[in-house]
């Protein structure tokens, strides 16, 4: 393929993601409102709001984390449009496919410093896990040394939240979170999002994502440290029940 043709296709994908994000926003806003009513500490963009933790950690520490985030934003390039859209779309599609799962975008601090994009809470078991989204395959993502370390030792969420049987959210740091890669190819993202907007379920992609999560839960048990194995075993059971 000539470079010019590839460049045109790339621009078309960016346009698709920008349009889809605008179409998805009303659904995402409704999702966020429902979670806020239960006490979820969320900003308008769906990220966990760090300022709500000042009463726990102190204003000085939270302010220092804001400064750290701003420094990292300047250092690293922002993600592409596909990545931006995934962080908004994944909470919606997981909730539609698997109603017992609640997905929240992590705080900017945990995104930049702890390298996790979402917290996923299981309403049935109250189990919490971390998720990293990608438009490449999960096996490729795990080759990243930092991602491998997170999977092996469990992720951290300094600005975390957990869910209770009473259906309420509480704030607190989280450690040793079993962490998974949620992988969508750009084409799968676009197709699945368009189906979502039409009120339809893309069963092929749903099955692919679920099978990937089950496989990961089994494979990660082989590479994680001993105390993390029980976490991945429980997640395997959860995924098999979905």
Question: DSSP characters for 73-100?
Answer: HHHSPPP-HHHHHHHHHHHHHHHHH-TT
C-alpha torsion 5→10→15→16, nearest 10: 100
Mode of pairing for the β-strands spanning 128-134 and 179-183: parallel
The per-residue pLDDT for range 16-58, each reduced to its tens digit, is 878 888 999 999 999 999 999 999 999 999 999 999 999 999 9
Strand partners, 128: 121
Nearest to 59 by CA among 71, 67, 51: 51
Half-sphere exposure of 242 (CA within 13 A, CB side): 25
pLDDT per residue as tens digits for the range 101-131:
999 999 999 999 999 999 999 999 999 999 9
User: Domain range for residue 72?
Assistant: 3-241
Measured at the alpha carbon of residue 107, what is the angle toward residues 91 and 225, in degrees to the nearest 5? 85
Structure pTM? Answer: 0.88
**How far apart (Å, rounded) are the C-alpha atoms in residues 178 and 201?**
27
Q: Shortest CA distance to 133 belongs to which of 192, 75, 74?
A: 192
pLDDT value for 68? 95
CB 184 within 8 A of CB 202: no
Give the long-range contacts of residues 66-73, CB within 8 A, separation 24 or more.
66/109, 68/109, 68/112, 68/113, 69/108, 69/109, 69/112, 69/113, 72/112, 72/113, 73/112
pLDDT of 82 reads 53
| Number of compact structural domains in the chain | 1
| Distance in angstroms (rounded) separating the CA atoms of residues 24 and 102 | 17
- The number of residues making up the chain comes to 242
What gap in Å lies between CA 94 and CA 89, rounded to an integer? 9
Round to whole Å and give the CA distance between 189 and 192.
Answer: 5
Query: Tens digits of per-residue pLDDT, 158-202?
Result: 999 998 888 889 999 999 999 999 998 888 989 999 999 999 998
pLDDT at 4: 41
The confidence score (pLDDT) of residue 165 equals 85
């Amino acid at each position: 393929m000539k470079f010019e043709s590839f460049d045109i296709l790339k621009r078309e994908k960016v346009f698709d993601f920008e349009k889809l994000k605008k179409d998805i926003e009303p659904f995402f806003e409704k999702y966020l409102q429902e979670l806020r009513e239960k006490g979820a500490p969320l900003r308008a963009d769906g990220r966990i709001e760090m300022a709500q933790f000042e009463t726990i950690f102190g204003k000085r520490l939270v302010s220092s984390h804001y400064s750290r985030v701003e420094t990292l934003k300047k250092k690293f390039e922002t993600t592409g449009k596909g990545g931006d859209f995934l962080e908004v779309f994944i909470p919606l599609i997981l909730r539609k496919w698997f109603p017992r799962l609640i997905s929240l975008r992590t705080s900017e601090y945990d995104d930049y410093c702890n390298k996790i994009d979402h917290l996923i809470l299981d309403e049935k078991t109250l189990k919490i896990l971390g998720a990293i989204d990608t438009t490449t395959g999960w096996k490729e993502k795990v080759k990243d040394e930092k991602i491998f370390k997170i999977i092996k030792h469990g992720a951290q969420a300094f600005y975390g939240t957990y869910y209770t049987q009473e259906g309420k959210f509480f704030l607190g740091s989280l450690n040793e979170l079993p962490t998974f890669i949620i992988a969508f190819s750009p084409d799968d993202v676009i197709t699945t999002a368009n189906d979502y907007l039409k009120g339809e379920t893309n069963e092929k992609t749903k099955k692919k994502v679920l099978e990937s999560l089950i496989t990961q839960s089994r494979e990660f048990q082989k590479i994680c440290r001993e105390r993390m194995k029980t976490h991945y075993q429980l997640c395997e059971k959860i995924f098999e029940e979905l």
